Amino acid sequence: MRSRLWILAAVIGLLGTGGRPVAHHALSAEYDVNKPITLTGVVTKIEWLNPHARFYLDVKDGRGAVVSWNLQLASPNGLVRNGWSRKTLNVGDEVTVEGWMARDGSKMANAHVVKLADGRRVSGAGPVGNGPAPQ
């Protein structure tokens, strides 16, 4: 009888996670630190969610076409510990991002440093930082 209760408790605990994966991955699994990128554009959307906050940036390419980039930050908790708030970045802000491109070639990057509209440079990696700084 006790083993059934433990099994039931385990099942309820797993269902309580909402089906989200609980494992975390290394930065190098998704982003290539050998492919640094610098992007300047206008913030179009901000997602202050776990496991990583994200924002979207419209960037003009060499031909003047607008390309939307998905930029990953640290967790919201890590950002707050590093001095961020929900008002640090706003839709419509023009920012410059230094980071690393996604390994799969998509328009996605890890935002290591964000230069805000007011000129401040803030870490998007949280208090610890990940990997070498982009060149």
Is the confidence at residue 123, as pLDDT, over 70?
A: yes
CA dist 9 and 5 (Å) reads 6
- pLDDT higher at 62 or 45: 45
Instruction: Label residues 12-37 b or e (16+ Cβ within 10 Å = b).
Output: eeeeeeeeeeeeeeebeeebbbeebb
Integer Cα distance of 114 and 24 in angstroms: 23
Which candidate, 100, 106, 121, 107, places its Cα nearest to that of 59? 107
pTM of the model: 0.71
pLDDT, position 37: 94
Take residue 51 and report the two structure tokens written for it: 């496991």
Does the structure show a pLDDT above 70 at 128? no
Asked whether residue 132 carries a pLDDT value surpassing 90, the answer given is no
Q: Which residue has the tokens 């980039």?
A: 69
Q: Please tell me which residue, 130 or 122, carries the higher pLDDT value.
A: 122
Mean pLDDT of 96-103: 94
Contact 60, 53 (CB under 8 A): no
Euclidean distance between the first and the last CA atom of the chain, given in angstroms as a whole number? 61
Q: Say what the pLDDT of residue 82 is.
A: 85
Q: Lowest mean pLDDT: which of 56-60, 73-77, 101-105, 131-135?
A: 131-135
pLDDT for 12: 53
- Going by their DSSP bridges, the two strands 94-102 and 108-115 should be labelled as antiparallel
Per-residue pLDDT of 2-25, as tens digits, reads 656 555 455 455 445 444 444 445
The CATH code for residues 23-123 is 2.40.50.140
